[in-house]
């Protein structure tokens, strides 16, 4: 009796622990967030006040880094606020790995170039501020795929083109700020048909 029950249990335990190991090997953790932020640091060409150079050190946890906030429950980066630090640089695709990010504010700096598509993976974003930088290119249509986005600030950049129709999907959007760009055409009013929470443009 004991023998017949032992083998299946052993097999089950083996399978279970293998499965768990595979799962945890592939799931992102705070180390993923650290590599994403180090990638961002390496894309910053000019940091006149040496804010990140000394402070963003691998000797301490990313949760102690300036501008970084971690959540208590999952121990992942939930907010990144680098506003008004006089930074010059570009945004690396790795930033899309900060999968618990709810707030991203890099306003009042000199970030330039275009925004990497990988940022679409930041599906927990509620507040996004790219204001007063030098980003260029068309406003990405994937901005429309942030299901919980409440505030989007793109003012004071060099974005061109039209506001993509996907913005009509931003059902939680309350504030949209786009002034001082090189946008063309009129604002399609039907974009706002579904935005019941919308308050300010
Ligand atoms: C994060 O995951 C990697 C494997 O993807 C693992 O080697 C590392 O120990 C984990 N780090 C923490 C802090 O759990
Ligand atoms: C980095 O800055 C934070 C916030 O100002 C501070 O609490 C922390 O001690 C600094 N860490 C280092 C290594 O300078
Ligand atoms: C992070 O993002 C980059 C580029 O988007 C990717 O190559 C990498 O595998 C991602 N994952 C981790 C754990 O860094
Ligand atoms: C954006 O930058 C301009 C010029 O540097 C400044 O006058 C303006 O107040 C800034 N906007 C905000 C919202 O801080
Ligand atoms: C936008 O681009 C023009 C010409 O390329 C440049 O003169 C201007 O300074 C740029 N504005 C911003 C806010 O980067
Ligand atoms: C977003 O909007 C576009 C165009 O308005 C539509 O084709 C698409 O199905 C929508 N996607 C989602 C996920 O709602
Ligand atoms: C508004 O929502 C309806 C129903 O979900 C959808 O069919 C329509 O395409 C949406 N309109 C826009 C402009 O996104």
158 lines ligand 5 (CB under 6 A): yes
Quick one: pLDDT at residue 64?
A: 96
Q: For ligand 5, is residue 20 a contact (CB within 6 Å)? A: no
Phi first, then psi: what are they for 116, rounded to 5°?
A: -70, 140
At 42 the three-state DSSP class reads helix
Structural domain count of the chain: 1
Rounded CA separation 159/141 (Å): 12
| Most informative mutation of 64, 69, 80, 81 for ligand 2 (most atoms within 8 A of CB) | 64
Distance in Å, CA 25 to ligand 1 centroid: 7
Residue 37 belongs to a domain = yes
Q: Note the ligand closest to the C-alpha atom of 164.
A: 6
Pairing between β-strand 151-153 and β-strand 175-177 as defined by DSSP bridges: parallel
Strands (E), 61-148: 68-70, 77-81, 88-89, 103-105, 110-113, 127-129, 134-138
Top mutation candidate among 26, 97, 101 for ligand 3, by most atoms within 8 Å of CB: 97
115 lines ligand 7 (CB under 6 A): no
Residue nearest atom 3 in ligand 6 by C-alpha distance:
166
Closest ligand to C-alpha of residue 196 is 7
CA of 175 to the centre of ligand 1 (A): 37
Domain assignment of residue 14, yes or no: no
Q: What is the pLDDT of residue 1?
A: 47
Does some domain include residue 102? yes
Centroid of ligand 5 to alpha carbon of 108 (angstroms): 15
Q: What CATH number does residue 98 fall under? A: 3.80.10.10
Contact 145, 118 (CB under 8 A): no
User: For each of the chain's 201 residues, which pLDDT tens digit applies?
Assistant: 455 666 667 666 666 666 565 555 668 899 999 999 999 999 999 999 999 999 999 999 999 999 999 999 889 999 999 999 999 999 999 999 999 999 999 999 999 999 999 999 999 999 999 999 999 998 999 988 999 999 999 999 999 888 888 888 888 999 988 888 777 766 667 677 767 767 666
Q: So what's the pLDDT on residue 3?
A: 55
Residue 76 belongs to a domain: yes
Within a domain: 114: yes
Task: Identify the residue whose C-alpha is closest to ligand 7 atom 1.
Answer: 194
Q: What domain range is 100 assigned to?
A: 30-194
For 109, other C-beta atoms within 10 Å of its C-beta total 22
Measured by CA distance, the residue closest to atom 3 of ligand 4 is: 132
The verdict on residue 98 lying in a domain is: yes
- Judge whether 55 lies within some domain: yes
Q: Does the beta carbon of 193 sit less than 6 angstroms from any atom of ligand 7?
A: yes
């Amino acid at each position: 009796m004991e023998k017949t029950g032992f083998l299946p249990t052993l097999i089950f335990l083996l399978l279970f622990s293998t499965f768990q190991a595979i799962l945890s090997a592939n799931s992102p953790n705070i180390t993923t967030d650290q590599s994403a932020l180090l990638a961002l640091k390496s894309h910053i060409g000019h940091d006149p006040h040496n804010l990140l150079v000394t402070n963003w050190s691998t000797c301490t946890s990313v949760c102690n880094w300036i501008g970084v906030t971690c959540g208590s429950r999952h121990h992942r980066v939930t907010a990144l606020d680098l506003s008004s630090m006089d930074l010059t640089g570009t945004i690396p695709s790795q930033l899309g790995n900060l999968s618990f990010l709810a707030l991203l504010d890099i306003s009042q700096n000199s970030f330039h170039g275009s925004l990497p598509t990988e940022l679409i993976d930041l599906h927990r974003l509620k507040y996004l501020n790219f204001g007063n930088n030098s980003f260029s290119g068309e406003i990405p249509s994937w901005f429309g795929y942030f299901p919980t986005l409440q505030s989007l600030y793109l003012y004071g950049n060099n974005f061109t083109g039209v506001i993509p129709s996907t913005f009509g999907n931003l059902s939680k959007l309350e504030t949209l700020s786009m002034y001082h760009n090189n946008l063309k055409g009129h604002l399609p009013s039907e974009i706002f048909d579904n935005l019941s929470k919308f308050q300010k443009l």
